[in-house]
Amino acid sequence: MKCFPIFIKDKPKNKNRGTGSVFETKNLAKSQDYSDSSQTSKSFQSSKSIPELYKEKQQNLRVFSLEELSDATNGFNRTLKIGEGGFGSVYKGTIKPLGGRGHPLVVAIKKLNTHGLQGHKEWLAEVQFLGVVNHANLVKLLGYCCADGERGIQRLLVYEFMSNRSLEDHLFNKTSTLLWKTRLEIMLGAAQGLAYLHEGLEVKVIYRDFKSSNVLLDESFKPKLSDFGLAREGPTGDRTHVSTAVRRFISHSRTVRTLMCFVLIYGWLLFKVVGTYGYAAPEYIHTGHLTIQSDIWTFGVVLYEIITGRRTVERNRPTSEQKLLEWVKNFPPDSKRFSMIIDPRLQNDYSFSAAQKVGQLAKSCLNKNAKERPTMSQVAERLKQAIQESQEGSNGVKKSHVTSSSRSSRRRSK
């Protein structure tokens, strides 16, 4: 079986522009650039791209056969499916150790839908980004499978298994409540992961899809960012932003611009492939320009989710409360009214002053002027302060990370 090839860099329009480098591994042939930005020759000389860094790192990613991963999931049995989204399905599987030595390893196997090139590009982006990054708050990629067969192209990724699912699963769970301190610790870990992507690599990385469902939790509720299919390299040299392919497409003709206006009006169809409704930064929506500040905006959205226990959009609520960011504007963090939007499931088991600090932080992340938003390093520091204040206000009793609804009901009855 032969892997489906595409090129890493688009052919340059200018003959003087560099073509970029190509990386090759056992099952990864030449690949097209998953990044939507075009780079100048100056940019190529001043910094290395993710594919170049991937080639240098030579991470020991294991190359799996389709048969191995099918056996690991009992033929991708539905009972082992633990997640599903636009990318495809995720299964819990058990793989045999290399050489047959050691204990079998429980893993998460993502099987991408590959109806077109987009699925392959997202798969390739994950392999390259996760083959370069190395941080405690980023999910670990163990290997991949790239196979072409009778059923078409097959693209799979094998990750470490995260036993506590995602922040979304716990935050919006009606049968249990994620404790306040645990919420802050999860957001701190996520902030540290984003800070690493923004500031800790030779090239800046825009995560682009930060949301509660992409924050996975291990057995100790330690958070790890997952799903790098939409990640992009940040701007290099004297550039201030990355322009998406959609934005460049819109600029080609007036007719196309008109058509795109209709698309925007009828349901956000344009942005389904580049993010999640309710999370995108305003400057990205209006211009198509991506910066690391776009990630900071989405972080602010999730901060309000952990404060309120509400999703960014909830159609079953009164009209004035359906859109989270519009609703919370009526309850500023520096007022007593702010307590009215704090998740009632917390049962007042939190520090109000710490909650106000987190609210102020969320508000600063959601500044419409992207330049005035804090960096992720600054966000992490302010979260540490909020955690410390929460600890000082607690009684020092060690608690589990969640409380069940039955425990909450017993507390109310007392």
> Which amino acids are annotated catalytic?
209
Task: Please give the single-letter amino acid code of residue 254.
Answer: R
Phi and psi at 217, nearest 5°, equal -125, 135
Token digits of residue 328: 């919370």
111 is in an annotated binding site: yes
Instruction: For residues 76 and 47, give the distance between their C-alpha atoms in angstroms, rounded to a whole number.
Output: 41
> What whole-number distance in Å separates Cα of residue 345 and Cα of residue 324?
17
Beta bridge partners of 144: 63, 157
Q: What is the dihedral of CA 298, 111, 164, 173, to 10 degrees?
A: 60
- DSSP letter string over 48-88? --HHHHHHHH----EE--HHHHHHHTTTT-GGGEEEEETTE
DSSP secondary structure string for all residues of 194-245 = HHHHHHSSSS-EE-----GGGEEE-TT--EEE---TT-EEPP-TT---EE-H
- For residues 341 and 32, give the distance between their C-alpha atoms in angstroms, rounded to a whole number: 47
The structure tokens listed for 371 are: 């330049």
Radius of gyration of the chain (CA): 22
DSSP 242-299: EE-HHHHHHTT-HHHHHHHHHHHHTTSGGGGGSS-TTTS-HHHHHH-EE-HHHHHHHH
Q: Which residues are annotated as a binding site?
A: 111
Q: Which residues are annotated as a binding site for ATP?
A: 111
